[in-house]
Amino acid sequence: MFLKRSIRINFLIQLIFASMSLIFIFSSFLYLYIENSIYDEKREELQQYAKNIANNQSLFNADSETTDALLGIEVEVIHIKRVNQDIDLYESTKNKQTYLTLIYPFNFEELSYLKITKKVTSTKMLLNKILRYIFIINIVGFILVIIYAIALSKMLISPIRTISLRLSNMNEHLMRPIKVEELPQEFEQLGSTINHLISRIQNFVKYQKELFIGTAHELKTPLAVIKLKNQVTLIKKRTPEEYIEALKITNKTIDEMNIIVSDILNIGRQEGAQLEKPVEVDVISLLREKANDFNLLAKNEGKTLRMHFEPNAFMATLQTSLLNQIVQNFLQNALKFTPKNKAVTLRSSQSEFGLLIEVIDEGCGIDESVDLFAPFTRQGNKSGVGLGLFLAKSAADALGAKIRVKNRTDGIDGTISSLEINSKLSCLLPKS
């Protein structure tokens, strides 16, 4: 029923120990209170007898006492060599009988004291019986506490068992979100987190299926082209120039296939990068380095790369390879679709979520009704496999960041590719 390092067994042990400690402490205080109350009553009773004797010189002259109350009382006068004004009370046992003795000052001049002894065997037996009853009640309470602790722990982990059973019966084809409203309030956040995880798994499975189908389709098309071109070439004899041209077309098609294979390999590398240990880096410094690298490429293509970074420094704990992959994809797409003599802007700023990184181009824009992050999705008439944004989205998910691509709204054609890094993993550095 219990496993090593089980939360339930730890809860049971702590609850039982705490409950038994409380029962023991309460029972001990209860018994001590009863015992002290009874002995205080007997002490007052014996003191009253002593006062009656000292004042009236006779025990039977006390108006408030009856004959039954005086049964079992022995009174004698004793002499002590030194003066002792304190009242002494002690308990003794003789022949299995219990006696309570009071030493009370009687005559200080004669150094005489009253020694009043009363048989309290029945009172002692009553206290022992009370102690046994309390002990029995403690045992019964201990058993009830164990039963209650087991029932309570079972009730508390019931939602966990329900969620575990629900998840154990799931596969990638039959995933259904957990009904959070049916869970106790304390487990709603856990249910929401699991639903979010299920959603991410569903998207991953969806993208994997699309990736496999798209890969097969993308590889099948150039293979068909190569085969058809070779068949046409082999129908009749041709000149060496025609054979060379056919081989060039075949090599070009093979290069396209190599690009597809390289992008697919990048997906595997990206999954490995997600397992890299995050390091603390200055994101602004990384952006500057990346901008400097692409600035030369932009100038070579007759384009301008503008840079504007705020704040001056921004520390974040993340996998740098994933961040580089996203920013590099943004800049590559922006330069690819931006015409000559136009500009691409790389900028950063603070947002409510954290640090906002944006790449703004002056290209043809996008169709926002299309899922650009799906594998093998292409826009425009430029060459490419369509895996770049798919890889960028996967990297952003691994970083816990937000990624988005949208059209510009400032009256200029083009797109804005943005990445927001979570501030929980980041901190702003003061300006030097």
Instruction: Give yes or no: residues 134 and 24 share one domain.
Output: yes
Instruction: Give yes or no: residues 336 and 411 share one domain.
Output: yes
Q: What is the Cβ-side half-sphere exposure of residue 11, based on CA atoms within 13 angstroms?
A: 15
Instruction: Give yes or no: residues 409 and 297 share one domain.
Output: yes
Q: Give the Å distances, CA to CA, from 229 to 135, 225, 232, 250, 300.
A: 98, 6, 5, 8, 36
Among residues 105, 135, 130, 99, which one has the least CA distance to residue 117? Answer: 99
User: For the chain, how far is it from start to end, CA to CA, in angstroms?
Assistant: 61
Sheet-wide strand order for 112-119: 73-79, 112-119, 97-107, 88-94
Structure confidence at residue 1 (pLDDT): 45
Q: Which of 245, 274, 303 is the last residue of a domain?
A: 274
Q: Does the residue 90 lie in any domain?
A: yes
Instruction: Give yes or no: residues 128 and 238 share one domain.
Output: no
Among residues 350, 356, 360, 351, which one has the least CA distance to residue 306? Answer: 360
Q: Give the Å distances, CA to CA, from 280 to 174, 192, 285, 316, 353.
A: 40, 30, 12, 5, 18
Alpha-carbon Rg of the chain, whole angstroms?
A: 46
User: Distance (Å, rounded) from C-alpha 330 to C-alpha 324?
Assistant: 10
Q: Does the residue 325 lie in any domain?
A: yes
Instruction: Give yes or no: residues 268 and 379 share one domain.
Output: no
Q: Does the residue 1 lie in any domain?
A: no
Phi and psi at 411, nearest 5°, equal: 90, 0
Range of the domain at 34: 7-144
Q: Does the residue 117 lie in any domain?
A: yes
Q: Does the residue 357 lie in any domain?
A: yes
Structure confidence at residue 359 (pLDDT): 92
Instruction: Give yes or no: residues 290 and 257 share one domain.
Output: no
Q: Does the residue 46 lie in any domain?
A: yes
Q: Which of 144, 178, 210 is the last residue of a domain?
A: 144
Pairing outcome for strands 304-309 and 402-407? unpaired
Instruction: Give yes or no: residues 226 and 346 share one domain.
Output: no
Structure confidence at residue 67 (pLDDT): 45
User: Distance (Å, rounded) from C-alpha 372 to C-alpha 349?
Assistant: 24
Q: Which of 250, 274, 298 is the last residue of a domain?
A: 274
pLDDT tens digit string along 339-384? 888 899 999 988 888 889 999 998 888 877 777 776 666 655 555 5
Instruction: Give yes or no: residues 100 and 188 share one domain.
Output: no
Q: Give the Å distances, CA to CA, from 359 to 326, 335, 432.
A: 11, 10, 26
Instruction: Give yes or no: residues 269 and 285 share one domain.
Output: no
Phi and psi at 347, nearest 5°, equal: -140, 165
Instruction: Give yes or no: residues 249 and 305 share one domain.
Output: no
For the whole prediction, is pTM greater than 0.85?
no
CATH (domain of 331): 3.30.565.10
Return all residues near 293 (Cβ < 8 A) that are at least 6 apart: none
User: Distance (Å, rounded) from C-alpha 319 to C-alpha 326?
Assistant: 11
pLDDT tens digit string along 411-425? 888 899 999 887 655
* Positive/negative CA dihedral, 247, 252, 255, 256: negative
Structure confidence at residue 61 (pLDDT): 47
- SS3 for the chain is CCCCCCHHHHHHHHHHHHHHHHHHHHHHHHHHHHHHHHHHHHHHHHHHHHHHHHHHCCHHHCCCCCCHHHCCEEEEEEECCCCCCCCEEEEEEECCEEEEEEEEEEECCCCEEEEEEEECHHHHHHHHHHHHHHHHHHHHHHHHHHHHHHHHHHHHHHHHHHHHHHHHCCCCCCCCCCCHHHCCHHHHHHHHHHHHHHHHHHHHHHHHHHHHHHHHHHHHHHHHHHHHHHHHHHHCCCCHHHHHHHHHHHHHHHHHHHHHHHHHHHHHHHHHHHCCCCEEEEHHHHHHHHHHHHHHHHHHCCCEEEEEECCCCEEEEECHHHHHHHHHHHHHHHHHHCCCCCEEEEEEEECCCEEEEEEECCCCCCCCCCCCCCCCCCCCCCCCCCCHHHHHHHHHHHHCCEEEEEECCCCCCCEEEEEEEEHHHEEECCCC
Number of domains, the chain = 3
User: Distance (Å, rounded) from C-alpha 255 to C-alpha 257?
Assistant: 5
Q: Could you tell me which residues are beta bridge partners of residue 336? A: none
Instruction: Give yes or no: residues 283 and 424 share one domain.
Output: yes
User: Distance (Å, rounded) from C-alpha 98 to C-alpha 119?
Assistant: 6
Instruction: Give yes or no: residues 345 and 385 share one domain.
Output: yes
Tens digit of each residue's pLDDT, the chain (432 residues): 445 566 777 777 888 888 888 888 988 898 899 888 888 888 888 888 778 777 765 545 444 444 445 556 787 878 777 655 566 777 888 888 888 888 877 776 677 777 888 888 888 888 889 889 988 988 888 888 888 888 887 787 777 777 777 676 666 566 677 777 767 776 777 778 877 877 777 777 776 676 666 666 666 666 776 777 777 777 777 777 877 877 787 787 777 677 667 666 666 555 555 556 778 888 888 898 888 888 878 888 888 888 888 888 888 888 787 888 888 888 888 888 888 888 999 999 888 888 899 999 988 888 777 777 766 666 555 555 566 777 788 788 877 888 888 888 888 888 999 998 876 555 444 444
Assess contact for 283 and 316: CB atoms under 8 A.
yes
Q: Could you tell me which residues are beta bridge partners of residue 308? A: 347
> Which residue in the block uniquely carries the two structure tokens 């603390």?
280
Structure confidence at residue 62 (pLDDT): 44
